[in-house]
Every structure is written in structure tokens, then in C-alpha cells.
Structure 1
């Protein structure tokens, strides 16, 4: 029975992480390869400035805010990973205790299911 609960926990955690990644990928724009941009970066910035009718400093400020957004996304991924690790440890602790509490396990599993459902809120579950 413990093995089945561990498998269920692993599967639930995996599905939640997949939903989180799918959601992040749908919101992210394609990342740029900085090595290929180095040679023509200033020329591209000049063209972008003229198209957007922005000064070079305004364009730099705009690009800096995009970099901040990427850093915030990376921080969120780290936070989510730590939260998942804590959840997994809580499940393992309950399963390895002499008298596992089904009520506490139920609360943990329901919480993870609610998180997964919230992440999949507007996403087709068949696509994950």
C-alpha cells in the first residue's frame, strides 16, 4: 500500500510540474541566442529604435525590464521547485511514520490536486 501511495504522490507531483512548465512555456516568448546577436546588436538596436520611434536609452530601459521579467521567472521556478520538494518530503514523512495519518495524507494530496487544477485552469489537460 505504501508503494502505491508513493507512486501516486510521484505521479501527482510530476503532473503538477508538467502543468506548471506547460503554463510557463505558453507565456514565454522565444529566448534569444545572445552569441548570434553580438555582431549585429547595435545595428538591430538602431533599427528597432527607428521603428518604435524610441531613443536608444528608452530602448535600453525597455530591454532591461524584459531581463528583469526573466529573472523573476527564474526565481519563481526555484520557489516552485522548493515547494514541491517540501511537499514530497511531507508525504514521505507521513508514509514512513509508524502510524500513517490518512487524513494528513488526504490534505496533502488534495492541496496538490487543487494546485494542479489551478495551473490547468485555462489549459487543455490532454495537451500536457
Structure 2
């Protein structure tokens, strides 16, 4: 729970900070793609070494990690674009709401797929 909570707080703060720092220069979709790559990588390594203590090959697990995050990432980016650009919801509120869904989905996916061989 501590690692997952830390990853979630990091992802939220990092994404919101990057958005507000660079929203005038870069499109929301580009910002969220970039922040997702950084956040997924941080989450992957913290889960691999601190939660699941996996000894499997890191690159294959990293690819599986992207499979798990892929669906929620695409939905998250589309959801942010829709909520922020089309409905005028403040970015920080939209990001918080969409993260709730992502946290549950990613934990189950990592436990049953990404780091399955570690069990």
C-alpha cells in the first residue's frame, strides 16, 4: 500500500505540475503521454523491486507493465482531453478522478499479469 500510494502521489503531483508548467507550449495530449512514460517507469521499478520482488527479466516485465497500463493510459488521456478541453473541468480535478480508476485496474493487472512469475 505504501509503494502504491507513493507512486500515485508522485504521478499526480508530477503530472499536474508538468501540465501547469508547460500547458502554454505543449498540447495536453503530448504532456500526458510524456508524464505517463515517466510515471509508468517509476511505478514499474518500485513495484518490481519493492512490492513483488521479482527476479524475472526486467525488460519483459516492463513490456507487460505497458500492456497493463496501456488501456488505462489511453482512457486516461482521452478522458483528460474530454473533461478539460471539452467540458472545462480543471486539470487537477480531472486527473484526480481518473486516477482512482487507474489505481485499482493497475494493481490487479500487475498482480495477475506483469509480475505473475514472481509468485
Structure of greater relative contact order (alpha carbons < 8 Å, 6+ residues apart): 1
TM interval, short-chain normalised: 0.3 to 0.5
User: What TM-score, normalized by structure 1, do the two folds share?
Assistant: 0.38
User: What TM-score, normalized by structure 2, do the two folds share?
Assistant: 0.40
